[in-house]
């Protein structure tokens, strides 16, 4: 009996050791991958030549190049999205459920408690 207990203890110790060793190796691999990624990103930054600061006129031109949505079209798109979501919400309905299935269990519990009190009173001679 004691040899089985000792053998089980050794198996447990070996199993826990193996699990934590593998977890440690995985942690080291993940740390190394993160370190390698940081190094590669740092190498890429210096190789790209810094671009000179653009002139203020070109910044204004870039801002004007943005496509603008006319207010009327924006209102139509917004109304369509709201109509779609309202239709989806109207299709949802709450599931019916009954709050009170029956009083049988509650009444049975009360009856059992009353019987216990009656039996107790009978046993001590008050009945």
Per-residue model confidence as pLDDT tens digits over 47-102: 555 565 555 555 555 555 666 788 888 889 999 998 888 877 777 776 676 666 67
How far, in whole angstroms, is CA 43 from its chain's centroid? Answer: 36
Per-residue model confidence as pLDDT tens digits over 10-25: 999 999 999 999 999 9
């Amino acid at each position: 009996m004691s040899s089985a207990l000792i053998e089980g203890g050794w198996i447990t110790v070996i199993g826990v050791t193996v699990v934590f060793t593998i977890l440690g190796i995985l942690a080291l691999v993940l740390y190394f991958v993160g370190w390698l990624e940081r190094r590669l990103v740092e190498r890429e930054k210096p190789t790209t030549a810094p671009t000179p600061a653009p002139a203020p006129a070109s910044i204004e031109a870039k801002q004007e190049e943005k496509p603008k949505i006319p207010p009327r079209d924006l209102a139509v798109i917004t109304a369509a999205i709201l109509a779609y979501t309202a239709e989806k919400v109207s299709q949802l309905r709450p599931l019916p459920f009954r709050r009170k299935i029956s009083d049988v269990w509650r009444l049975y519990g009360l009856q059992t408690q009353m019987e216990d009190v009656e039996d107790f009173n009978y046993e001590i001679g008050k009945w």
